[in-house]
Amino acid sequence: MRFMLLFSRQGKLRLQKWYVPLGDQEKRRLGRELVQTILGRKAKMCSFLEWRDLKVVYKRYASLYFCCAIEEQDNELITLEVIHRYVELLDKYFGSVCELDIIFNFEKAYFILDEFLLGGEAQETSKKSVLKAIEQADQLQENIDFQMRLFPAPS
């Protein structure tokens, strides 16, 4: 996978994960144009499109578009499954996830994504394992937070 974008129906970016090295300007431009292209598509259209020289797979869940740009040899259908798996993870984590959850807890959305995909490929195919790992990482974080509150670092 080259990159993944999450954006709302108004075109506001909620999450962007880039696995290819591009400059900031370039990323913004690419993102904007792709978002416009996808938003311009009608409801029942195909989930796959060829855009520039990329293969793009996207799916809409409620008010959020999940969009991935994949390599030439990648399987489009399995990418749809990857997207679906990510949504399921978010759903399990936040409990009936909605767009607001992702807006206000964007860093957690990233952490979950990073526990599921690594370097653009799926690292764990078991939903249970991913959720467990995140839980434990969160626990670790909480402990440290707790410690820091009790024993603030010397200023």
Partner 1 sequence: MSPSVRLQEMIRVIRSARTQGEERGVIQRECAAIRAQFRQADNGGRSHNLAKLLYVHMLGYPAHFGQMECVRLIASPRYNEKRVGYLGAMMLLDENQDASLLITNSIKNDLAHSSQYVQSLALCTLACMGSAEMCRDLAPEIDRLLRASSSYIKKKATLCAVHIVRKVPELGELFTPAARALLAEKNHGVLHGAVILITELCERNAQTLVQFREAVPELVHIMRGLVTSGYSPEHTVAGISDPFLQVRVLRLLRILGRNNDTASDAMNDLLAQVATNTDSSKTAGSAVLYETVLTVMDIKSESGLRVLAVNILGRFLLNNDRNIRYISMTSLQKIVSTDHNAVQRHRGTIVDCLKDQDASVKRRALELSLALVSAINIRSMMKELLLFLSTCPPELKSHAASGIFNAAERYSPSQRWHIDTILHVLITAGADVRDETVPNLIQLITNASQLHCYTVHKLYRALVADISQQPLVQVACWCIGEYGDSLLQQGECEETEPIQVTEDDILDALETVLQSHMSSPATRGFALTATMKLSTRITENVDRIRSIVSIYGSCMDVELQQRAVEYNALFKKYDHMRAAVLEKMPVMDRSSMGQTNGESGGGGVQELEPTKPKQPEMVVAPQPASQVCDLLDLLGDPDEPSLLGGPLGPGGAPLGPAGLMPGSAGGDLLYLLGGLELTPTPTPATAPAAVTVYDKSGVVLKLSCERPLDASQTITLTATNTSDHDISSLTLQAAVPKNVQLQMKAPSGDSLPARSSAVVTQTVLLNNPNKVSLKMRVRLSYTSQGSPFQDTVQIDSFPTPGL
Query: Closest Cα partner for 67 from 90, 44, 51?
Result: 51
| Nearby residues of 74 by Cβ (< 8 Å), 6 or more positions away | 1, 55
The footprint of partner 1 on this chain (CB under 8 A) covers a number of residues equal to 60
Instruction: Based on the shown chain and the rule CB under 8 A, indicate whether residue 63 belongs to the binding site for partner 1.
Output: no
Rounded to whole angstroms, the Cα distance separating 142 from 148 reads 10
The nearer residue to partner 1, 44 or 53, going by C-beta atoms, is 44
Which tokens go with 135? 């839980």
The smaller minimum CB distance to partner 1, of residues 98 and 122, is found at 122
Distance CA 141, CA 118 (A): 21
Q: How far is the CB of 91 from partner 1 (least distance, A)?
A: 15
Q: Where does this chain bind partner 1 (CB under 8 A)?
A: 13-19, 21-24, 28, 41-42, 44-50, 73, 75-78, 80-82, 84-85, 103-104, 106-107, 110-111, 114, 118-119, 121-129, 133, 136-137, 140-141, 144-145, 148, 152-153, 155
